[in-house]
Amino acid sequence: MISDKMKGFVKSSSIIRAMFEEGKRLAGIYGAENVYDFSLGNPSVEPPVQIKEALIEVLNEENPNLVHGYMNNSGYEDVREKIAGSLNKRFDTNFSMNNIIMTVGAAGGLNVIFKSLLNPGDEVITFAPFFGEYRNYVGNYDAVLVEVAPNVEDFQPNLDEFEDKITEKTKAVIINSPNNPTGVVYSEATIKSLADILSRKEKEYNTSIYLISDEPYRELVYDGLEVPYLTKYYKNTIVGYSYSKSLSLPGERIGYLVIPDEVDGSEDIIAASNVATRILGFVNAPSLMQRAVSRCLDVSVDIELYNRNRELLYNNLISYGYECVKPQGAFYLFVKALEEDDKKFAEAAKKHNILLVPGSSFGCAGYVRIAYCVDYHMIERSLPGFKELAKEYGLASDS
Ligand code: PLP
Ligand 1 neighbour 48 (Cβ under 6 A): no
Q: Are residues 264 and 249 in the same domain?
A: yes
Looking at residue 97, what is its pLDDT? 98
Lowest mean pLDDT among 22-31, 186-195, 291-300: 22-31
Rounded to whole angstroms, the Cα distance separating 190 from 213 reads: 14
Q: Which residues constitute the domain of residue 371?
A: 4-47+301-392
Instruction: For the chain, give the percent of residues with pLDDT over 70.
Output: 99
Ligand 1 neighbour 106 (Cβ under 6 A): yes
Whether the CB-CB separation of 183 and 370 falls below 8 Å is answered with no
Looking at residue 351, what is its pLDDT? 96
**Which of 267, 160, 265, 256 shows the shortest CA–CA distance to 209?**
265
CATH number of 339's domain: 3.90.1150.10
| Exposure string over 41-53, b if 16+ CB within 10 A, otherwise e | bebbbebbebbee
CATH number of 55's domain: 3.40.640.10
Q: Apex CA 70: angle with CA 67 and CA 74, to 5°?
A: 100
Q: Are residues 86 and 225 in the same domain?
A: yes
Q: Is residue 153 one of the residues assigned to a domain?
A: yes
Looking at residue 67, what is its pLDDT? 97
Q: Is residue 222 one of the residues assigned to a domain?
A: yes
Boundary residue ending a domain (264, 293, 322)? 293
Q: Are residues 177 and 273 in the same domain?
A: yes
Q: Are residues 169 and 211 in the same domain?
A: yes
Q: Is residue 399 one of the residues assigned to a domain?
A: no
Ligand 1 neighbour 330 (Cβ under 6 A): no
Q: Is the pLDDT of residue 236 over 90?
A: yes
Rounded to whole angstroms, the Cα distance separating 231 from 123 reads: 21
From the number of C-beta atoms within 10 Å of its C-beta (0-12, 13-18, 19+), residue 16 rates as: middle
Residue whose CA is closest, atom 2 of ligand 1? 131
Helices (H) and strands (E) in the chain, counts: 14, 12
Boundary residue ending a domain (243, 275, 293)? 293
Q: Is the pLDDT of residue 186 over 90?
A: yes
Residue whose CA is closest, atom 7 of ligand 1? 41
Q: Is the dihedral of CA 289, 216, 33, 39 positive or negative?
A: positive
Chain segment 321-364, per-residue pLDDT in tens? 999 999 999 999 999 999 999 999 999 999 999 999 999 999 99
Boundary residue ending a domain (268, 293, 318)? 293
Q: Is the pLDDT of residue 73 over 90?
A: yes
Q: Nearest 5°: phi and psi at 355?
A: -105, 120
Q: How many CA atoms lie within 13 A of 168 on its CB side?
A: 3
Rounded to whole angstroms, the Cα distance separating 186 from 178 reads: 7
Q: Ligand 1 centre from 371 Cα, in Å?
A: 13
| CA 242 to ligand 1: nearest atom | 15
Whether the CB-CB separation of 235 and 207 falls below 8 Å is answered with no
Q: Is residue 19 one of the residues assigned to a domain?
A: yes
Q: Are residues 186 and 218 in the same domain?
A: yes
Assign 103 to helix, strand or coil: strand
Looking at residue 18, what is its pLDDT? 77
Sheet holding 170-175, edge to edge: 100-103, 255-258, 237-242, 210-214, 170-175, 123-127, 144-148
- Residue 197, number of CB atoms within 10 A of its CB: 18
Whether the CB-CB separation of 353 and 30 falls below 8 Å is answered with yes
Q: Are residues 8 and 113 in the same domain?
A: no
What is the total count of domains within the chain? 2
Ligand 1 neighbour 103 (Cβ under 6 A): no
Q: Is residue 40 one of the residues assigned to a domain?
A: yes
**Which of 167, 174, 176 shows the shortest CA–CA distance to 121?**
167
Rounded to whole angstroms, the Cα distance separating 171 from 163 reads: 14
Looking at residue 396, what is its pLDDT? 73
Ligand 1 neighbour 175 (Cβ under 6 A): no
Chain segment 92-133, per-residue pLDDT in tens? 999 999 999 999 999 999 999 999 999 999 999 999 999 999
Q: Ligand 1 centre from 110 Cα, in Å?
A: 9
Q: Is residue 11 one of the residues assigned to a domain?
A: yes
Q: Is the pLDDT of residue 14 over 70?
A: no
Element at 333 (helix H, strand E): strand 332-336
Whether the CB-CB separation of 193 and 163 falls below 8 Å is answered with no
Ligand 1 neighbour 329 (Cβ under 6 A): no
Q: Is residue 398 one of the residues assigned to a domain?
A: no
Chain segment 257-273, per-residue pLDDT in tens? 999 999 999 999 999 99
Q: Ligand 1 centre from 244 Cα, in Å?
A: 7
Q: How confident is the model at residue 399 (pLDDT cuts 50, 70, 90)?
A: low
**Which of 393, 388, 341 shows the shortest CA–CA distance to 368?**
341
Q: Where are the beta strands (DSSP E) in 35-80?
A: 36-37
Whether the CB-CB separation of 103 and 243 falls below 8 Å is answered with no
Query: What Rg value do the Cα atoms of the chain yield, rounded?
Result: 21
pLDDT: is 31 or 14 the higher one?
Answer: 31
Query: Per-residue pLDDT averaged across 190-197, rounded?
Result: 98
Q: Are residues 119 and 242 in the same domain?
A: yes
**Which of 300, 297, 295, 334 shows the shortest CA–CA distance to 314?**
334
Q: Are residues 354 and 383 in the same domain?
A: yes
Q: Are residues 114 and 259 in the same domain?
A: yes
Q: Is residue 61 one of the residues assigned to a domain?
A: yes
Query: Per-residue pLDDT averaged across 62-70, rounded?
Result: 97
Q: Are residues 149 and 271 in the same domain?
A: yes
Looking at residue 16, what is its pLDDT? 65
Q: Are residues 262 and 375 in the same domain?
A: no
**Which of 208, 273, 204 shows the shortest CA–CA distance to 236?**
208
Ligand 1 neighbour 129 (Cβ under 6 A): no
Q: Are residues 308 and 195 in the same domain?
A: no
Q: Is the pLDDT of residue 303 over 80?
A: yes
Ligand 1 neighbour 176 (Cβ under 6 A): yes
